[in-house]
Structure 1
Amino acid sequence: MQPRIPRPSAGEQDVRRPDHTGHDDRLGPGLVSVVSGARRRAVRDGDRQIDTAHLLHSLLEYDLEVGAVLGDGPQLARLLGYLVQRSIGYGLRWQGTVEDSGAVPVVKEAAGFSPAAAAAVDRACERAVRRGAARAGGVDLLAALVADPGTRAVEVLGRAGVDPQALLARAEGHAEPGHRR
């Protein structure tokens, strides 16, 4: 049986693949786990690419700081409920499509990250550098995910009653370990 997300040969590794992105050295250990979890979720869901909703779901599972930024229990429970619904069928309309918020060009043949997810990882790494950290953390990725209003992560947040702009403001003000002010 072939893997659902094809693995390129060593000579054709795609820069959008989370295990070969060149980002791994810029991601903190927690984010490496988040990306691995998002990859497993994408494969299990039958999706061709890891999209921003996969990353958001994995962030909530693996990063306690992200939960602290999200705040109250009921809002977090609603958000997890929508993400689970997506895993069991809510996201079927997304299956087999490339997530494209319009922020970056679509690369239809790429497996691994969707263009929007790849851009979010890049923005998370840039945010970490701006705050003086060597590696991106979970709140960096959360801020990057909600900064692009056209992503699936923002759509899921909206359906769960989470205001993405308010969440972005909380993420920007959150002191992550290693955060300089």
Structure 2
Amino acid sequence: MQSRIPRQSTNDQATHGTDDDPRLDAESAAVLAAARRRAVRDGDRQIDTAHLLHSLLEHDPRVRAAFGDGPQLARLLGYLVQRSIGYGLRWQSGVEDSGALPVVPVAEGFSPLAAAALEQACARGGRGGGARARGLDLLAAIVMDPQARAVEVLTHAGIDVYELRVRIEENLAARTLEECAGGHEPTH
């Protein structure tokens, strides 16, 4: 029986890159590895913001909490699964890039928007006195550009991206206060 999953060459862009960036916490590194596997499995040339969103939801409970409980999260996960089983085919031939974000060196295997979001997340994480970027930092970064595929997915799932941004910032602020009150280096 022939496999329905396309084989990827070791030269495909999505298979390269490092997930052990010292600016990322362990969960965020796991998210990048999962997004990379998802892109390869889906036959995509690059990891885009929707791959990152899907992996964040699977691996980071704080990210899931930012969406709250209820039907919106279930609808979002269902939409992401549809994308991974064929809905995203229309994206395979294009590169995710709105031109709205400042130009950054593109991380190998990432779309320009995903690479910019990763850089922005690392910068956000580093503001806390050397802390590493967390999943919420990455989520905040991938929903900033209205042209991002992650934003398109969120909108189609009925999620108000503006309200989500507010909840993310509230969660990040609360986490920072907890870390400061504990007087210790963040573990994530």
User: Shorter chain as normaliser: what TM range?
Assistant: 0.7 to 0.9
Of 121, 134, 138, the residue aligned with 1:137 is 134
Superposed CA deviations along residues 9-68 of structure 1, whole A, max 9, x for unmatched, are xxxxxxxx5417xx7100000001000000000000000000000000000000000011
Q: Is the Cα contact below 8 Å between 1:124 and 1:144 reproduced in 2?
A: yes
1:19 aligns with 2:18: yes
Mapped partners of 1:139, 1:71: distance in 2:
14
Please give the residue correspondences for 1:10-49 in structure 2 after superposition, counting only pairs within 5 Å. 18-19=17-18, 24-49=21-46
3-state SS, counterpart of residue 158 of structure 2: coil
Count of residues in correspondence between the two structures: 171
Alignment of 1:158 with 2:151, yes or no, is: no
Larger Rg: 2
Conserved? CA contact 1:4–1:48, under 8 Å: no
Gaps in structure 2 of 5+ consecutive residues:
1-5, 182-188
1:1-181 correspondence runs (5 A): 3-4=8-9, 6=11, 18-19=17-18, 24-102=21-99, 103-105=101-103, 111-174=108-171, 175-176=174-175, 179-180=179-180
The 1-side partners of 2:104 and 2:123 are apart by 21
Deviates more, 1:144-153 or 1:99-108: 99-108
For the 8 Å contact 1:18–1:35, the answer to whether it is kept is: no
Alignment-mate amino acid for residue 130 of structure 1: R
Q: Structure 1, residues 96-150: CA drift from partner, whole Å, max 9, x if none?
A: 3111121255999x85110000000111111112234520000000100111111
Superposition deviation, residue 155 in structure 1: 0.3
TM-score (norm 1): 0.84
Matching residue's letter, 1:3: Q
Give the percent of matched residue pairs that are identical in Structure 1 and Structure 2. Answer: 59
Cα distance in structure 2, aligned partners of 1:127 and 1:75 = 27
The corresponding residue for 1:12 is none
**Partner Cα separation in structure 1 for residue 37 and residue 127 of structure 2:** 30
1:170 offset after TM fit, Å? 0.6
In the alignment, the residues of structure 2 paired with residue 116 and residue 160 of structure 1 have an alpha-carbon distance, to the nearest angstrom, of 20
